[in-house]
Structure formats: structure tokens, C-alpha cells
Structure 1
Amino acid sequence: MLPEGVEQPRQAFVQQVMGLPVSVHVRGPQARGDEVAAAVEAFFAALRDDDARFSTWRPDSPVSRIRRGDLTLADAEPRVREVAALCEEAARRTDGAFSAWLPGPDGVPTFDPTGLVKGWAVEQAFDELRNRVAEGEPHDLLVSAGGDVVVACARTDTPDWTIGIEDPQDRSRVLRTVGLRRGAVATSGTAARGQHVIDPASGAPPSGLLSATVIGPDLTWADVYATAAFVRGAQAQEWIATLPDHVAVLVGADGAVQ
């Protein structure tokens, strides 16, 4: 352990995966060592594998084959079936505000699990990264995937990670900060990617909020709940209050913060 008041070594790694900038931040005595670097590379490799598996843009991916009718979910590999089952659970938990079956250009619902896959894939790879790094001395980890964040602190001599929630009307401005040692922060909205969220009930983009940020114990469900809250709009805060261990920061269409 370093003397009190001396910061632990830190290292950041960044790659473009799943069409997003993904960064890994490691804090601890071996943060700049070869073993940590190898563990982080394995993390990125796992994300690339899931990108190839779940991409709706790659014509040879299992998801694209399912969307074309060349492959059934029942015949897909276990990892794809696991995600499909999680998407069904997400639809149940959100009363349909989240769905993996969204209207295509012709209005016919098609399988699109991307609203769940990113958070789930990052969380799966993060758990493996944490296990590999834990084989040595304790280290703290933070992963940011397109602004969605998951953290875990194994040390007791370090401060909380501080995560900023940006203003969707001015992305250079931070609305709130969240201090976390373990957990996740996920945001859904239009500021970074435009109108990419669809209300499963109407097939149209939601309009009640500018952004919905959910803080919770794990990234998979924080991400799902952020999407569902964004779809729910004005009713989101009341609904989030029913979810144990989750809180939200919502920005209304008028810019008011809830």
C-alpha cells in the first residue's frame, strides 16, 4: 500500500467497439503492468465477439440472419437465446416500454436486441475483467461505453469514482455528479445519437424527455430502465420510484431536471 495521501497509479485504455468509444480505467499498483494490459485486451476482444454476434449491420451475424428469416431463435447459439430471454424479461419488467421487437420500415416488428445488448455485453466482459485483475493485488475499475458507466472498487485507500451526468442541451455542462464504488450509471436520450429510441407501442420516437439517467447496481438493468424511462416520458419518475435500488435523473422536454 502506498503512504497515505499518495495516489495509486492509474491507466486508461480506449478502443472503438460496437460503434462506440469504450474506455477502461484501472487504478491500483499494477495499473500500468503487462498483466492488467492483457486483461483489458481480453475485455475488448469479448466485446468485439459480441458485436459480431449481435450486430444488425453485419449481414452474417446471427441476429441479422434471424431478422431475415434465415435462422430461428430456437436454433440460434445459447448466447443469442440468453439475450432473447433477457429481452422478454425486460419487456415484462417495464410493462412493454422496452422491447426487442420493434417496427421495421414496413411496420412489421423485427428482432432488434441492441437496446439491451450493449449494457449486457459490457457488464459480462467487465465481470470477467474484474475476476482476472482480482487474481493479483486489489484494483479499482471503471468502464465507460458511450457514456454508460460501470464501476467496481476493490481497494479501501482510494476515493469513489466520480461520474458526471451531462446536460442534454449543452453536452459540455455537467448537471449532476455521482460518486460510486460499485454500480452503474446509464443514460438514454437524443443528445449523443439523435432519435434512435422507439416507443414499442407507437413505433414513434418518444418526446416527453430530453434524457433519462438511471443509477443502479448493474449496467444491464440500469441501461434497460433508462430506455424504458425515456419512453415513458412524464410518467417515468413515478415508475422509477417503484424499482428497488434504482434512482433516476430526468431532464424534461423543457430542460427542467427531476
Structure 2
Amino acid sequence: MRRVEQVMGFPVSLRVDDVEGTDDGDVLSEAGDAVFAWLREVDERFSPFRTGSEVSRYGRGELPASRLSADLVEILALCERYRVATGGAFDARLPGRGFDPCAIVKGWSVQRAAERLAAAGAKRFCLNAGGDVVVGGGPWRVGVRHPEIADRLCTVLELTDGAVATSARYERGDHIVDGRSGLAATGLLSVSVVASTLTEADAVATAAFAMGAEGVAWAAGLPGCEVYAVDAGRSVVRTAGFPSAGARAA
């Protein structure tokens, strides 16, 4: 099964090659339907750009702690975890902006979708959400876009079960802010993080980018994380365990 839909403002592609115990196309279709229904639900509930979402209502102070969903409580805990871990460089509550947990919600929700696929029996699958990828039953080869040349890759990695996320300036410009200074983070051109879950890979990639050059060493020091980064001087830093299947000079 292969499907692509636009959800949460970016394309999400799903490929499932093998489902345990069945070759029934209806089972595959139902699993795909569940993935995209979940992601649409997440967009409705947790988008800060929807005035009636739970996130927006929480950000305006309309929801007391006793009325928050378990999912939002989990998201808030993750936001706080990475705020503390980065000394405030990563912060979902930037001055002059409303509460915006998108950097956590994306990876968290896509990881949840992948777990639903696995629970439905998907053994070999790839779920790609705007360039952030979670796979199962590999090996899969995943390309990382060059931070300055749109039609080139700077590296290719090989994953069996796990996730990779990239934070960069090429799609949305200087959109990631260092919460310590309130200024756009410009120390890196891109940073890709491999981890066991997309929840962690996406959060760590965004947090590392917000920290700038020091974020590479911070991310590399986290258990289970491997890093590939291009700094503002166009130097490449790659941890020894980064699962490269082939590389091109950045």
C-alpha cells in the first residue's frame, strides 16, 4: 500500500510492504485510514493555529489542569523536559508568541501513528511526515536533503527500525528561535538526528538546532541518538554511529 495525504500543513506518505498474517487489501486500507484519521485528529486538537483546539484554549488560559487530556499532559511534559535539558534554548512558550508545541507534536503524533501500524500487523513500513521518517522492518534507505541545494542529498542513511528527523532553515527560513536570546537560531544550517522513536528524534533535532553549534555535542551525548549536522560555516559533523549508507560532501 502506498498513500500520500496533506495533513498538518505538510505531505505525509505511507508505504506498507508486508502485513503479518494477511494479504487482505482491506486490512491494509483500514490501517492506512487509521493513520491518517489519527493525524487529522491531532491537527484538530493540538494545532496552535486553530482557535478552538485544545492547545489554543490551553494557551489562552481557558483550560485548568484538571481538564487537560492525557495526551496534552504528555506533550506538556515533553516540552518542559527539553526546555530544561537545553537551558531554555528550546521553549514552546516564547515571549510575544502563544503556546506552540508543534516541535513536539509532529514527531509524537507520527510515532503514535507508526505504533498503530505495527499493532495492526504492519511488519515492513515507512511513514514520512514532511521529511521526518519512522520505519519498521527494514533496511530502508533514507536521504537527507542538502541544506542549501534543493535537488541534492548531503547523506543517505540506512535504518531497519527507528526514526530520523531533520531541522533546517531551507523550508521556512529562520523559524527556530533560541529561547535564551529570543533571536533566530543561525549557528547550524541543518541537523539530523537518528533515534529509536520519532518523538525523540524530532524533539532533539529541533532542540539542538535552537542551541546552535553547541547543540550538536549536546544531542550526540544523549543515549541512543546519532547526529549528522552542517554548521553555518558548512562544516559537517557526524557521530561515529550515524548509520550512513553513503554520503556526499555538503
Give me the identity figure in percent. 43
Partner of 1:120: 108
Partner of 2:243: none
**1:172 counterpart SS class:** coil
Question: Retained in 2: the 8 A contact 1:91–1:99?
Answer: yes
- Distance verdict in 2 for CA 1:27–1:67, change over 3 Å: same
CA deviation string 1:3-42 (max 9, x = no partner): xxxxxxxx32111111110011111276782211110110
Partner of 1:23: 13
For 1:54-65, what aligned pairs fall within 5 Å after superposition?
54-65=46-57
CA deviation string 1:77-110 (max 9, x = no partner): 22212211121122233333322212225xxxx4
**2:50 counterpart SS class:** coil
> How many angstroms does 1:206 deviate by?
0.4
**What CA distance in whole angstroms lies between the structure 2 residues aligned with 1:31 and 1:164?**
29
1:228 pairs with 2:207: yes
Partner of 1:7: none
1:39 pairs with 2:18: no
- Distance verdict in 2 for CA 1:44–1:242, change over 3 Å: same
- Distance verdict in 2 for CA 1:79–1:164, change over 3 Å: same
The aligned length equals 235
> How many angstroms does 1:211 deviate by?
0.7
Partner of 1:100: 92
Question: Retained in 1: the 8 A contact 2:48–2:99?
Answer: no
Once structures 1 and 2 are overlaid, which stretch shifts more, 143-152 or 242-251? 242-251
Partner of 1:140: 124
Question: Retained in 1: the 8 A contact 2:126–2:133?
Answer: yes
1:88 pairs with 2:80: yes
1:69 pairs with 2:61: yes
**What CA distance in whole angstroms lies between the structure 2 residues aligned with 1:66 and 1:53?**
11
**What CA distance in whole angstroms lies between the structure 1 residues aligned with 2:127 and 2:168?**
20
> What is the alpha-carbon root mean square deviation over aligned residues?
1.7
1:112 maps to a residue whose letter is: D
Which has the higher Rg, Structure 1 or Structure 2?
Answer: 1
2:183 maps to a residue whose letter is: A
**What CA distance in whole angstroms lies between the structure 1 residues aligned with 2:178 and 2:201?**
18
TM-score scaled by length of structure 2: 0.88
- Distance verdict in 2 for CA 1:31–1:93, change over 3 Å: farther
Question: Retained in 2: the 8 A contact 1:161–1:179?
Answer: yes
> How many angstroms does 1:194 deviate by?
1.9
**2:89 counterpart SS class:** coil
- Distance verdict in 2 for CA 1:251–1:56, change over 3 Å: same
1:43 maps to a residue whose letter is: V
> Structure 2 stretches of 5 or more lacking a match?
238-250
**What CA distance in whole angstroms lies between the structure 1 residues aligned with 2:204 and 2:187?**
16
